[in-house]
């Protein structure tokens, strides 16, 4: 029955488009109703992404096998992983012990450590204000269209515009083409009313608050658990990395995130010691893309690896970009410190999730992202699907490699993850096509599914004296 999970997920995605547009990008799709009918034990179903193609005939990551055969008796070094998302349930039974803690700071309204963020003991909320936080937002195309409509609505073409204005006009036309009936009214400026920063000034960065709990922290809580829920405590499920601290950074509301918040979230993570950053979000337009690009370059300079979701629209992101993109604004060069991830299922019959974006130039690897069982708020657990779930699988593997082989750089870890994939040498069903089969190399640059066991073997070889 597992092979039918992606098809059910595709139905859920379609329903999500009709009800809440943001769900197709950031909230994974629940498939728990299928678990009782799976052809193997529920425990196996809940942990399938940790299992092995060689041992279990499941296209998991080989994490269980790696712990049993490669890591036994070895002592890891703790790695900090930043979760840029909608927040984390910092009280969750399976996450509390593995949360990052800023030991130089104290709770409250004082900036004890002098980093500009008051009371940032567990992380930071860039969608906060003095008295609360933003939970709801509109789409980026809606914001762009109505912001620039007075300038361009009477224009027939770009003739007579300066170069910068021509680019802005093209962005406006793109936003117009993406509008739906729900986007056709002027947006409420939720962020402007609550956060009250100078949005276009990247140097105005000390805004927000320290509250990571509250809607929509459901998504970020699930992502955090996949990476680093406490292992071996007989509660819920096991995260991938056993020596990890999870830094919560809130930049994603129920709706499209803002480029400035993403950029500052990346910089906050880097400045506070994160070695890996998980980014399970995305959108179709990025008006302040340069802010994000500069932040990614900053992370690269500091040796920080970014793991980025490909998106859940079932489209080729080589031609229809999903932001943040792994490419520089100018030229065709890719960031050397970013891995972009598509979502896969457990069996050969349904290996590529039908909702997953793809692209042999943009998407680097695929990873388990269908029916991934993890933490949700209130000491609960649930299986969800999406590239949002596949991304922390890769972030967890990156943290696992870094913790046991701390001498490896971000670029080396990226290389290892990409070169150690389980190569798929049979045709797979192209997303959204229902039956069209293509080579896996047409969907991602490596043509494979991430494999933690292979990656750790390669890391061991590369670090031999």
Angle, vertex CA 350, rays to CA 373 and CA 69, nearest 5: 55
361 by Cβ neighbours in 10 Å (0-12 / 13-18 / 19+) ranks as middle
Question: Would you state the structure tokens that stand for residue 154, as one six-digit string?
Answer: 């009477």
For residue 99, what are the CA distances in angstroms to 10, 82, 185, 217, 381? 33, 10, 41, 15, 18
Question: Could you say which of 49, 219, 222, 322 is catalytic?
Answer: 219
Alpha carbon distance 364, 413 (integer Å): 13
Rounded to an integer, what distance in angstroms lies between the CA atom of residue 145 and that of residue 187?
A: 10
List of residues 6+ apart from 444 with CB closer than 8 A: 342, 358, 359, 360, 363, 364, 365, 366
Distance (Å, whole) CA 123 – CA 209: 9
Catalytic residue among 175, 286, 385, 388: 388
Catalytic residue among 85, 197, 238, 364: 85
Q: Is residue 238 among the annotated active site residues?
A: no
For the purposes of burial, counting CB atoms within 10 Å of the CB of 426, is it exposed (0-12), middle (13-18) or buried (19 or more)? Answer: exposed
Q: Is 318 a catalytic residue?
A: no
How many Cα atoms within 13 Å fall on the side-chain side of residue 447? 10
Per-residue 3-state assignment (H helix, E strand, C coil) for 138-186: CCHHHHHHHHHHHHHCCCCCCCCCCHHHHHHHHHHHHHHHHCCHHHCCC
**What residues form DSSP beta bridges with 15?**
none
Cβ pair 289, 168 in contact under 8 A:
no
Active site residue 183: no
For the annotated catalytic residues, the residue numbers are 85, 219, 388
């Amino acid at each position: 029955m597992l092979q039918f999970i992606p098809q059910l997920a595709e139905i859920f995605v379609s329903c999500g488009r009709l009800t809440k547009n943001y769900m197709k990008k950031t909230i994974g799709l629940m498939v728990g109703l299928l678990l009782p009918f799976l052809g193997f034990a529920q425990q196996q179903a809940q942990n399938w992404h940790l299992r092995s193609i060689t041992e279990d005939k499941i296209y998991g990551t080989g994490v269980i096998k790696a712990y049993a055969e490669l890591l036994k008796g070895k002592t890891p070094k703790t790695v900090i992983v930043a979760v840029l998302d909608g927040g984390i349930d910092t009280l969750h039974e399976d996450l509390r012990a593995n949360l990052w803690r800023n030991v130089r700071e104290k709770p409250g309204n004082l900036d004890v450590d002098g980093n500009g963020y008051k009371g940032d003991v567990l992380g930071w909320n860039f969608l906060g204000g003095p008295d609360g936080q933003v939970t709801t937002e509109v789409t980026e195309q809606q914001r762009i269209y109505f912001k620039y409509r007075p300038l361009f609505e009477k224009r027939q073409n770009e003739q007579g515009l300066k170069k910068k204005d021509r680019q802005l006009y093209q962005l406006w036309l793109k936003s117009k083409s993406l509008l739906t009936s729900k986007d056709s009214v002027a947006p409420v400026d939720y962020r402007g009313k609550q956060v009250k920063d100078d949005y276009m000034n990247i140097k105005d960065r000390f805004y927000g608050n320290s509250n990571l709990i509250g809607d929509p922290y459901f998504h970020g809580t699930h992502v955090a658990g996949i990476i680093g829920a406490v292992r071996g405590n007989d509660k819920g499920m096991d995260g991938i990395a056993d020596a990890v601290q999870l830094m919560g950074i809130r930049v994603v509301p129920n709706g499209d995130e803002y480029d400035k918040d993403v950029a500052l979230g990346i910089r906050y993570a880097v400045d506070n010691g994160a070695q890996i950053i998980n980014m399970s979000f995305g959108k179709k337009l990025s008006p302040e893309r340069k802010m994000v690009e500069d932040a990614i370059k900053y992370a690269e300079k500091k040796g920080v690896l970014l793991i980025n979701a490909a998106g859940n629209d079932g489209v080729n992101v080589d031609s229809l970009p999903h932001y943040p993109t792994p490419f520089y604004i100018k030229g065709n060069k890719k960031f050397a410190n970013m891995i972009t991830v598509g979502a896969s299922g457990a069996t050969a019959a349904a290996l590529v999730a039908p909702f997953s974006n793809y692209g042999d130039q943009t998407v680097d690897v695929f990873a388990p992202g269908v029916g991934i069982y993890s933490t949700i708020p209130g000491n609960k657990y649930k299986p969800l699907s999406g590239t949002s779930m596949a991304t922390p699988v890769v972030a967890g593997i990156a943290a696992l490699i870094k913790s046991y082989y701390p001498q490896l750089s971000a670029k080396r870890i990226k290389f290892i993850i990409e070169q150690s994939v389980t190569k798929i040498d049979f045709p797979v069903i192209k997303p959204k096509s229902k039956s069209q089969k293509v080579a896996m190399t047409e969907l991602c640059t490596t043509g494979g599914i991430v494999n933690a066991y292979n990656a750790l073997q390669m890391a061991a070889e590369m670090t031999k004296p």
